[in-house]
Amino acid sequence: MTALVRGELYRVATIRSSWISTAVLGALTMMLGWLSVDMWKLLVGVGAIGLATMQTAQHYQHQTAVLLHLGRPHRVLVLVAQLIASVIVTVAFAALSGVTVLGKGHVEQYRDVLVVVPLMAVFAAAAAAILRRPMWLFLASGAWFIIIEGLISSLEKPLPFTAFLQASAGDRLHLLIFAGWATLAVVGAAVAIHRDLVGE
Amino acid sequence: MIEARTLTKWYGSVTAVDGATFTAAAGRVTGFLGLNGSGKTTCLRMLLGLIRPTSGTALINGRRYRDLQDPLRQVGAVLEQGISHPGQTGRAHLTGHAILAGASHARVEELIAYVGLARAADKRTGAYSLGMRQRLAVATALLGDPQVLILDEPANGLDPEGMAWLRELLREHARKGGTVLISSHLLAELAQLIDDVVIIANGQIRCVAPLTDLYGYATTRLRIRGRDPGRLWQAYERAGGHVSMDGYTLEVAGLSAEDAGEIALGVQVPIYELTADTPNLEQVFLSLAATR
């Protein structure tokens, strides 16, 4: 397991486009955090989805999942390692990008976001393991958030992104609800990861 | 040793592989031949646990791939023309997989030099040629110093020097007692490399045999040019040969070169040319893959 997590983190660190985009997004998020805590929260959420999704789905996009599963044929272990690596990367991203928020004295909001961001990383990485295509996931997430949670539910029903937003504002009930959504995604991913890897 | 026992894979109503049974023995290089879409890649992926068979068993050293201890130290695989993230350098790709394989940094450097990528190791793999990606894939497969090698079209994109290098690498691996299963459509190349042949067509195994036996399936034809083709034709047919004409040259099956020479002497017809046209692997493969 340790080797798997190390391998994943090494991979993230050595793909130039990956760490450059993370650094740019981090700098932007940090800047916006200085202007508005709410903007920082929103961007951290979006960033967590993006980072965790790309980290996991790129393995399928570039077929490197094949090498991963040849190295560790027990696929649930691979999934767990990917979830852990996603959590580490997104928490580091959130923690570092939030120094401006901390600097302005919003300690509680900073803490609340750092509590819920690992769940978002787990949720997004698990969803990526199910869908395997990052673009599909981004489009599906965007459409879901705007149409289902925004227009239809007016951000009032206990749906994933609504729960994330409420939890990042310190709502403990919604934190539990979002943990439930993340667990559901992990169960789905644990089943889906056993699908055939048929190649191009 | 690699064993496929009645491996079958259905995708809905389509049968990709139908009851494939074959072995690849240690100390030998086994060629896995099939046309595009014949089920080769599906078979190889079932052996490697990447695709679940609908029925049947795939074993490597007596175990299913997922039951192997430290699989990268037992099996090396080259699939899909060099898999790597295009934004990662060759060295970083190998180092990342060395972490999984439990291989040292020294092993990574050794393999980079061995596959001839020393000067390109710090370039992103997205800038690699197909041949360079294949070399990187071979290095990735060798990280754990495995006894079994499974290679799907590894010669694609390699230049003649690269092919000679790969041929020598695989022959040396088999000489040391390793098992090599290689698929390729470059049949002339494969003929110089393999000991045994497995032929698959339409998802079914058509032939499992040593290469030398495979050549025995096909009849050697003689090409004979002499002063009087008509008299030669009659003489060879009387002797039991099957004769056809190609311009001024006779094509004779069913007689040895010695018999053909003696018969020509017997009927007093001078021979200008007599060659034995031994079928090559491509001809044998096409006849086995297409006719049954």
A68 touches chain B (CB under 8 A): yes
User: How many Cβ atoms sit within 10 Å of the Cβ of residue A28?
Assistant: 13
What would the two tokens of residue B135 be? 């070399």
Q: Nearest CA of chain A to the CA of B286: how many Å?
A: 26
What residues of B are in contact with residue A64 (Cβ under 8 Å)?
83-85
What residues of B are in contact with residue A199 (Cβ under 8 Å)?
41, 45, 79-80
What residues of B are in contact with residue A14 (Cβ under 8 Å)?
88-89, 92, 95-96
Dihedral sign of CA atoms B255, B258, B264, B267 in order: negative
Contact B51 A197 (CB under 8 A): yes
User: Would you say how long chain A is, in residues?
Assistant: 200
Rounded to 5°, the CA angle A114-A117-A123 comes to 160
Q: Nearest CA of chain A to the CA of B229: how many Å?
A: 55
Contact B45 A200 (CB under 8 A): no
pLDDT tens by residue, chain B, 292 residues: 899 999 999 988 888 889 889 999 999 999 998 888 888 889 999 999 999 999 999 999 999 999 998 899 999 998 877 788 888 999 999 999 999 888 899 999 999 999 889 889 899 998 998 888 888 999 999 998 999 999 988 887 778 888 888 888 899 999 999 999 998 877 777 888 888 989 888 888 988 888 877 766 666 788 899 989 889 999 999 998 889 888 888 988 888 888 889 999 999 999 999 988 776 777 777 777 665 4
The answer to whether B28 and B200 are in contact (CB under 8 A) is no
Where is B207: in which H helix or E strand?
A: strand B204-210
The yes/no answer to whether this complex scores an ipTM above 0.85 is: no
What would the two tokens of residue A198 be? 């048929």
What would the two tokens of residue A28 be? 């932007």
Distance CA B65, CA B69 (A): 9
Nearest chain A residue to B125 by CA: give it.
A15
Instruction: Tell how far CA A22 is from the center of its chain.
Output: 13
Contact B102 A3 (CB under 8 A): yes
C-alpha distance from residue A52 to each of A96, A118, A169, A190, B3 (Å) = 16, 10, 21, 16, 39
Distance CA A143, CA B291 (A): 54
Contact A16 B51 (CB under 8 A): no
A10 touches chain B (CB under 8 A): yes
